[in-house]
Amino acid sequence: MKNIKTYSTYKKSEVVWLGTVPEHWEIIKSKRILVEASIKGFPDEELLAATQTKGVVPKSVYGKTTVTATKNFETLKLVEKGDFVISLRSFQGGIEYAHYRGIISPAYTILKPQEEVVHKYFRYLLKSKRYISGLTLLVTGIREGQNIDTGKFKDSYLPLPSKLEQTDIANFLDYKLEKIARFIKKKNQLIGLLTEQKSAIINQAVTKGLNPNTKLKPSGVEWLGDIPEHWEAKRLKYIGKIINGYAFKSHWFKDKGIKVLKITNIQPMQIVWDETSYVDEKYYEELENFRIKKNDLVFALTRPIIKAGIKAAFIKSDEKILINQRNAVFSLKDENTLTEWIYFVLLDKSFEKRFEKEIDFTNQQPNISSKDIENIEFPIPSLIEQTKIVKHIETELSIINKTISTIEKEIELVEEYKTALIAEAVTGKIDVRDFKIPAVETPLTMVAEEATNNNKTN
C-alpha cells in the first residue's frame, strides 16, 4: 500500500493463507482464543439470523424472510453480543459477528472470544478475503451440503498481535472504511442524479418533442397530458400486432437447438440468457406465429414490472428464437412508426405508471394481459420527427451512460482497494501502529486517488 509502511522484520507463519507475519506476532490455534459454546434452553430470547452482510442480527432487523428450522425454541443456541458464529454459509463469506443477544439455529457453531481478543480486530480478520480463502481447507461436504468442519476450525491457526496492536489496526480500518463508505455513497448519489436526468430527457422528448416553442394540444390521454398539436395518440394495437407465447411442454426442452425465450430471460429493457432453454429445430418451422424477429418488442406478462422498470426488451439480433407462454411479442406493422420510438416511450416513467394501472395484483403473481398492453395509448409524431427524437435521445443518453460507467468503475476500484486494505492490515502486511487520524479531514477525492495508486503498485 502506497504511503503506508511495512514492519521491519517478518517471519513465516506456516499458514498458507496468512503467508509471512510481523516477527513479534503470535500464531496460535483458533480454539485458544475462540471457544465453542452450546447453551440452550432460552426459548424467550429474540430469534437471530446470521447474515453475510450485517453479521448476526435479529430476524426483524434483517428484513428478509428466513426459515426457522424448528418450532422447539428450547433447542436453539444462545448467542451473546460479541460472540462469533460459524453459519452454514461461512465458507463463502467468513465468520459472522453477533451484534445482539438472542437464539439461533442449533446447526450453527457459537464461538466466545477470550481475553486476548479485541473484537473489532477479529471482526475484520474473520471476514477478510485472505481468511475466507483459507476456509476452503476447513470445508466438509460437497456443493450445497458444504459446511465448515468445526474440528478442523479449532485446530486451524490465527494470527494474534498484541491487544494494543489489534486496537490500532481496527481503529485504522474504522477510519479508512468510513471514508470509503462516504465516497461510495456520494458516487451513488451522483449516479442517481444522472439517472434522473436521463428520465427527464426521455420524458421531455417523447411527450413534448424537441422544439420548446411548439404549440400543444390536449392529448385526451391522462398519462400524456398535452402533446404537440401535430402529434397523434394511438393505441398500440393500431400500429402493430401482439401475440402471446406458446405453451411448450417441459419434456420438449433440450440442451441445444432453437432458443426459447422464457419469462426469466426478459428483464427491464434487456434480454438475459443466464438460463437458456432450447427445443428441436422442427418447432421453429411448425410454430411460425411464435417466432421472434429482429426489431420486435417482447413483454413479460407475469410480474411485468420490477424495481428496475417494465420487463420488456427490444430484439436487435437475427437469431432464431421462439417465445414461451406468459410472455408476448409485439411486431410493428405501421411503416410510419419506429420500434426504437416505442422502446423509448416504454422507458418513460410516466408511461410506466400508466402501464402499472393495467396490472392485475389479485393473483399471487401480478399479471398483465396482452390485450391490456395493446390498448395503452402511445404518442405518435411523424416518422421524420421520430427519427430526430430517437437520435437526440440516443446521443444524450450515450454521454450520460459514459459518465455513469466511469463512476461505476471508480466505485469498483475503491471496493477492490477496501478489500485489499482490510486483508493487508489484519495480516500485518502493512504497519499502521503510528497512524494518526488527520486533524484536517482529507477530501473524499483522495479515496479514489489512493485506490488508483494502489492498483498501479499491485
Owning domain of residue 248: 210-380
pLDDT, tens digit, for every residue of 355-378?
A: 999 999 998 899 999 999 999 999
Three cell numbers written together for 59: 430476524
pLDDT, tens digit, for every residue of 384-442?
A: 999 999 999 999 999 999 999 999 999 999 999 999 999 999 999 999 999 988 876 77
Helices then strands, counting H and E runs in the chain, come out as 13, 30
Residue 440 · residue 184 · CB < 8 Å: no
Residue 178 lies in a domain: no
Task: Indicate the length of the chain as a whole number.
Answer: 458
- Report the alpha-carbon distance of residue 179 to residue 347 in Å, rounded: 35
Domain boundary among 332, 349, 380: 380
pLDDT above 80 (res 448): no
Residue 31 lies in a domain: yes
CATH number at residue 220: 3.90.220.20
Q: Are residues 352 and 246 in the same domain?
A: yes
Count the Cβ atoms, other than its own, within 10 Å of residue 225.
13
pLDDT above 70 (res 193): yes
Residue 251 lies in a domain: yes
Q: Are residues 362 and 231 in the same domain?
A: yes
Dihedral sign computed on CA atoms, order 179, 182, 186, 188 = positive
Residue 420 lies in a domain: no
Q: How many CA atoms lie within 13 A of 297 on its CB side?
A: 28
- Report the alpha-carbon distance of residue 157 to residue 34 in Å, rounded: 11
Mean pLDDT of the chain: 92
Residue 398 lies in a domain: no
Q: Are residues 231 and 138 in the same domain?
A: no
Count the Cβ atoms, other than its own, within 10 Å of residue 45.
16
Please tell me the total count of domains within the chain.
2
Q: Are residues 156 and 252 in the same domain?
A: no
Residue 279 · residue 325 · CB < 8 Å: no
Q: Are residues 343 and 261 in the same domain?
A: yes
Residue 446 lies in a domain: no
pLDDT above 90 (res 143): no
